[in-house]
Amino acid sequence: MRLENKTAIITGAARGIGRECALRFAEEGADLVLLDVAADIDGVGYPMGGRDQLDHTAGLCRALGSAVLAAAVDVRDLGQVEAAVRSAVDRFHAIDVLVNNAGIAAPSGAELHEITEPDWALMLDIDLTGAWRMIRTVAPLMVGRRAGSIINISSTAGLVGYRRFGAYVAAKHGLIGLTRAAALDYAPFKVRANALCPGSVRDDPMVEGRMLAEIARSLDVPAAEHERVFVRDQPMNALMEPGDVADAALWLAGDGSRQVTGSVVAVDGGFSSR
């Protein structure tokens, strides 16, 4: 029970990596604040996680023994973020872990000069500035307690470039820079900040993931072939599983990583080492 007596906020918790992190944290004793936009977003060309999926994640975690607060929150809206954090503190009194997982993979599939300004702004507003809004709101609470772990879910796109994904690459690189800056700002207060960089994560139907399929769609890779196509680029000849990312997040959330801050942990089967 590595997270017993700890409370974690997880954004993008309705499905995919967010749900998997919530389940692993629940198994290890954490109480949870599960946030998700829980609605479609104009400009994103695929369905976002819904309120029913967020509630399903919450129910699974309660069945594992966690106390859970679930709320529909758009990380583009500072007022919504602040209200959710106030509710979390009212319920649980303290926040020990923040997992910034909310993100989008599209609009993508265009060369840099083809990206529209609204599409560029949307990607950065969610994938980068959304994490900053969460840190801006939660970090002072952690500083006041002289304890806390901030985990930003970046990507191998934060480590290397990808063709036709310029806005996504910029946002995920920016998230690593934000992580390192936060680590230095908050180190004197024993608050840690680290980034995880998943590689190609399989869309496990158990957590209703669809990110890899959407990336494939943006690259015009046929749906029936996309896993085989992505595996070709993997040094370990396998896609990552959501649990691989959640296990790394669990380590960064717990006391076993108490001297780890400002680190960038690639969970990519060696992809970024090439």
Is the Cα dihedral 159, 25, 256, 140 positive or negative?
positive
* CB distance 268 to 240 below 8 Å: yes
Q: Is 46 a catalytic residue?
A: no
* Alpha-carbon distance values, 212 to 11, 66, 72, 217, 239 (Å): 19, 29, 24, 9, 10
Q: What are the structure tokens assigned to 61, written together?
A: 């975690």
Look up residue 74 and give its amino acid: D
Of 46, 162, 168, 186, the active-site residue reads: 168
Question: Contact, 107 vs 44, CB < 8 A?
Answer: yes
How far does CA 53 lie from the centroid of its chain? 16
Beta bridge partners of 53: none
Copy the structure tokens of residue 273: 């080492």
Considering all CA atoms of the chain, what is the largest pairwise distance in Å, rounded to the nearest integer? 51
Catalytic residues: 168
